[in-house]
Each structure stands twice: as C-alpha cells, then as structure tokens.
Chain A
Amino acid sequence: MQESVDTILQGIKWIIPEIILATAFLVILVIGLIKRGNSLVKGLTIIVFAGVFILVASDLYTTSPIVFGMLRVESVSSFIKLLLNFSALFTCLISTRVKEHLSEYFAFLIAIVLGAHLLTMTSNFLMIFISIEIISISSYVLAGYAFDKKGAEGSLKYFLFGSVSAAVMLYGFTFLYGLTGTIDFANQTFTSALLDSQNALAYLSIFFVFAGFLFKISSSPMHFWAPDVYNAAPAPVVAFFSTVPKLAGLVVFVKFLLAINLFGQTSLNWQLYLAAIAIATITVGNFAALKQNSVKRMMAYSSIAQAGFLMIGLIVFLPQGIHFFLFYATAFVIGNLLVFLYINSFENGGTTTIAEYAGFGRTFAIPIVFLLIGLVSLTGLPPTAGFTAKLFLFSSVWTAFEQQGHTILMVLLIVGLLNTVVSLFYYLRIPYYAFLKDGKPAFSHNILHFENFLGAFLVVMLLILFFQPGLLMSWINKINFVL
C-alpha cells in the first residue's frame, strides 16, 4: 500500500501541466457560478495556457518513466503540447465576440487542451478512450456556441457522428484486448501476441480503431462532420478545432501505427491502406474546397486536405518522417491561425462568403496582405514555412520510395504534388476577390490594430521558418521518438 502511494507521489511531478489544466478548469467553472459574465476568466485562461506553455517548453527533452502505468512524458508529445497550448492561447486572444456563458466557454477550451495533453502522452486503450471522449464531449458543446439555429444543428450532427465513431473504435479496442490480453499497446506483450494472431479479426478490429482516430483528425472517409461543424461554429472555435484535436489525434495515431506495424513483420501492408486513405483525404478535401462559397466551409475542406498531408509524415515509417511531421505541424498551426485571425475579424463585421471580400484590398490593405501570406503558406509556396514543410514531407516520401520501393508511395508523391497545384486555386480566391474585384466592404471601421499586431508576429514566424528552417529543425532533430 505504502509502496503504491510512493509511486503515485513520485509520478505527480511529471504531470504538473495536466494538474494545472484540471485545476484551472474547475476554478473557472466555479468563478462562472459565482459571477456571470466575468471578464476575469479570459485573463485567467490566457495566463494558464501561457504558464503551461512555458512549463512544457522548459522541460522539452525529458523522458519520464511510465506515470501511473497510463501516461508517459516524452519529447514528441511535449513538442505537440507546445503547439496545442500555442493555438489555445491564440484562440483565447481572438475570442472577442463570445459574450454569453463566458466561463463555460473558456472552461471547455481548457478541458479540450487537457484531453489533448493526455491523448498525446498515452499508449493505453482506456486512457485513449477517455481522452478522446473528454475532447469530443467538450467539442460538441463548443460547436454550438453561436447560440443559433445553425449552431444547434451543427453540434447535434457532430455529436451523432462522433459518438458512433467512438463506439466503433471502442469495439475495436475490446477485440484487441481479447486477442492480446493487455490494454497497453506499447507493451511487449501486445506486440508479441499480435504477431501470433495475424488473422482477419485482428485486422478488422484495427480498422475499427482507425475509425475513431480518423474521425478525430477529420480524415477521409470520416470527414463528413467537418464542413457542417466548421460552418456553424464561431470562427475562434473553428481555428481551435482545426488544430488542437487534429494534432493530438495524429500523435496517438502514429504511436498506434508503429505498434501494429510490428517492426515491419506484419503480414498486411498497412502502408498501402494508409497511403490510400491519405490520397483520398487530400483529393476529397482539395476538390470539394474548390466549389465552396462560404469562407469557413472552404477552410473546413482545406483542413481536411491538410490532415492528409500531415498523415504523410506517419505513413513513410521513417524516423525523419516524424521530424518532418512535427515541422509540417508547426507550419500548419501558424498558417492556419493567421488565416483564422482575419477570417474571425472579418466575420465579426458580417463577411462570411468569399464574394463579399470584393474590394477589401483597398480598405484593409495590411490585413489582406497578411491573410495572403497565411494562405500562401497553407498552399506551400515560397517564401513561407509551408513551402519548406511540404518540401521536407515530399522528400521523405521520395526517400521512403527509394528504400522500400512501394509503388503506392510514388502515387502518393504525385497526387500530393498535383493537389498542391489544385489548392492554389481555392486558397487564392479570397485575395483575388479582395484585390481584383470591385466592391465596397459592408463595414469600414479600419481598426484592426490588435489583429495586425498578432498577424505580424505570425507572419514573421512563417518567414523565419522559411529562411532559417534550421532553427526549428535543430530543435526537432533532438527529439528521439521511441514507442
């Protein structure tokens, strides 16, 4: 008894960021109960996210023993945690329009970040299920935070889709537990037992588990919820949804993939299926985005396509694949936040469709130029970080093709490159309307100083990552990924 108490007490020092988040969640809820509409909660949430960011950054390369048998602190999850807290902090800064139920709003943001933290740190089926549900249940509520007809519809559809995919994933977990006798997939028992039972049941249950993960990263064929939810939710929430749950889901997905790949001894070629999923995701996302009129709907399909690109880093099954995935994730988070920063401020003025951006280039010169830089980075053109990130990813696919010789990797490379060209057409539609079409903005108050300050910060980061990618890569290269 005394022994297990000691182990638990020793483990606590590894999960201080998570404890801070959990405490802050409760404190903010209580503040909301005492005093409604308190603006104190926003400041408190920003301080919490900034504090957790600094705490994680100060201890980036430590690898802990397994905490409570459930969680494990290692450098990949710490790096992703930085990105999670960065985009959460940013979401708080741009959530100016939310007026109702303020404390619940920030409490749910903290809960999602807490769930995402736990999801990146675990390799335990029980913990994965609980953290995915923490993220999902809070997301269902946040999706309806516009408090209108659309919001209610979006969150109900999100809920039905999400619960079904979580239930399917759980059913897959139970069979993997039955086959291997352990609920920890990083465990030696799991890999050796799975190696002995390479049968249809094991494959089917792994595909069931994929359903849950693919839903969280909004990848095809589980992407149908994304456009509706993104369209209905407020813009800051969309910025949050398109980064935080996606990255956390990808980290646990890569761990699971390494476990089921059984060091290359599996009899089923997982790379083939995953590459097919990535190709479908990129193609569906990009081509559906072409014919959208609503800005947020277009960005929803764009984030589906980006999920496909992010998956490429996992599919190559190379150590540098993980590094390039982390670089791409950083570029994607910064570019995406930059775009949503301005989509949010223009939406506050009533602009929601692409055609309504006509003539904005004259009134809002600096915002549209910054928006253009963000969109160019998402497309993957120089001189932005997106170009470097895509270059790294595609070069890793090429290396993997040379080493492993699978044709599917060549197809993936070609489809990825062609889709980059396709994405140019829809990403540049907003700047096209803003600069080349005549029109008058529906609102003219040109006071976006705060947004421009934040935007300039992000633009500088995008440019620095293009001209000096070594700064970040030397950081990332020190990350040692072990299951």
Chain B
Amino acid sequence: MIDTLTMMILLGAFLFTTGVVIIVTKKNAIMMLLGIELMLNASNINLVAFNQSHPATIDGQMFAIFVILVAVCETAIGLALVLRVYQYYQTSVPDELNELKG
C-alpha cells in the first residue's frame, strides 16, 4: 500500500506531465493556457502535501495560496493577449502567427 504523501506527489506529477503534454501537442493558445494552469496546480498539490511532512510552519500552504493568486493574474493577462492577437490575425493558434521571422 502506498502512503498518502507518495500518492499526492504522484498525482502532482501526473497533473504536471498532463500540462506539459497539452502545451506541446495542442496548438491553440487557450488550450496552452489550460496546460499552464495544470502545471501550476501540480505545484500546489506538492506544496500542500509536503507541508504535512514539515508541520512546524505553514510555509507550503502559504506558498500555495500565493500561487493560486498569481495564476489568476497570469490567466487574465494571457486571455487579454489572446484576444488581441485574435483581433489582428483572426486566429488564436501561435503557430499561424508569422510576422516575426528571422
């Protein structure tokens, strides 16, 4: 039987890998945003789980709250940028943007 900490770390690793796979395989910028969100949440699970093995302080849980906050800001900026790209190019697929070549 695996203990809870290992299970949580494995869950985090699974989420992180899923996020990376989404970012690499999906072409749409909004799907990539979802992948980034999964990667950040994998870190949150890790932080909260590791906090249980270091119970002297609540550093990990504090960290997780800040990460949630930053993730929200990042998504807001990201969606705004996708929207602006859509206004110019009528697409939200980064591979189809080709003004910058060098």
- Chain A residue nearest to B32 (CB atoms) is A160
Q: Given A156-B82, A164-B36, answer yes or no on A170-B102 (Cβ-Cβ < 8 Å).
A: no
| Among candidates A178, A228, A292, A294, residue contacting B46 with C-beta atoms closer than 8 Å | A178
B50 adjacent to A141 (CB under 8 Å): no
- Chain A residue nearest to B15 (CB atoms) is A171
Residues of A with C-beta under 8 A to B99:
149-150, 153, 232
Residues of A with C-beta under 8 A to B88:
148-149, 152-153
Q: Is A32 an interface residue (CB 8 A)?
A: no
Give the distance to chain A from B4, nearest Cβ to Cβ, in Å.
Answer: 14
A177 adjacent to B36 (CB under 8 Å): no
Residues of B with C-beta under 8 A to A231:
100, 102
A153 adjacent to B50 (CB under 8 Å): no
Of the listed residues B36, B43, B66, the one surrounded by the most CB atoms of chain A closer than 10 A to its CB is B43
- Name the interface residues of A121-167: CB closer than 8 Å to any CB of B: 125-126, 129-130, 133, 137, 140-141, 144, 148-150, 152-157, 159-160, 163-164, 166-167
Residues of A with C-beta under 8 A to B32:
160
Residues of B with C-beta under 8 A to A160:
23, 29, 32, 36, 78, 94
B28-70 toward A: CB 8 Å interface, digit per residue (1/0)? 0100100010011011001101100110100110110011001
B70 adjacent to A133 (CB under 8 Å): yes
Residues of B with C-beta under 8 A to A152:
81, 84-85, 87-89
Q: Given A149-B89, A297-B102, answer yes or no on A156-B94 (Cβ-Cβ < 8 Å).
A: yes
Kindly state the separation between the CA atoms of A133 and B67 in the bound complex, as whole angstroms.
Answer: 10
Q: Is A38 an interface residue (CB 8 A)?
A: no
Q: Given A150-B99, A170-B67, answer yes or no on A177-B47 (Cβ-Cβ < 8 Å).
A: yes
Q: Given A152-B84, A153-B99, A163-B74, answer yes or no on A129-B66 (Cβ-Cβ < 8 Å).
A: yes
- Chain B residue nearest to A300 (CB atoms) is B102
Q: Is A183 an interface residue (CB 8 A)?
A: yes
Kindly state the separation between the CA atoms of A159 and B79 in the bound complex, as whole angstroms.
Answer: 10
B50 adjacent to A174 (CB under 8 Å): yes
Q: Given A126-B62, A126-B66, A231-B102, answer yes or no on A171-B46 (Cβ-Cβ < 8 Å).
A: yes
Kindly state the separation between the CA atoms of A137 and B70 in the bound complex, as whole angstroms.
Answer: 10
Kindly state the separation between the CA atoms of A125 and B12 in the bound complex, as whole angstroms.
Answer: 19
B81 adjacent to A156 (CB under 8 Å): yes
Residues of A with C-beta under 8 A to B2:
none
Q: Is B73 an interface residue (CB 8 A)?
A: yes
Residues of B with C-beta under 8 A to A415:
none
Kindly state the separation between the CA atoms of A154 and B102 in the bound complex, as whole angstroms.
Answer: 13
Q: Is A240 an interface residue (CB 8 A)?
A: no
Kindly state the separation between the CA atoms of A148 and B89 in the bound complex, as whole angstroms.
Answer: 11
Q: Is A477 an interface residue (CB 8 A)?
A: no
Kindly state the separation between the CA atoms of A227 and B94 in the bound complex, as whole angstroms.
Answer: 16
| A binding-site residues for B, Cβ under 8 Å | 125-126, 129-130, 133, 137, 140-141, 144, 148-150, 152-157, 159-160, 163-164, 166-168, 170-171, 173-175, 177-178, 181-183, 227-228, 231-232, 292, 294, 297
Mind listing 13 A-B residue pairs with CB under 8 Å? Answer: A126-B63, A133-B74, A137-B74, A149-B89, A152-B81, A157-B94, A157-B100, A159-B78, A160-B23, A163-B36, A163-B78, A174-B43, A181-B56
New A-B pairs, 6, CB < 8 Å, besides A171-B16, A177-B47, A178-B53: A140-B77, A156-B97, A157-B97, A159-B81, A170-B67, A177-B59
| B binding-site residues for A, Cβ under 8 Å | 9, 12, 16, 19, 23, 29, 32, 36, 39-40, 42-43, 46-47, 49-50, 53-54, 56, 59-60, 62-63, 66-67, 70, 73-74, 77-78, 81-82, 84-85, 87-89, 94, 97, 99-100, 102
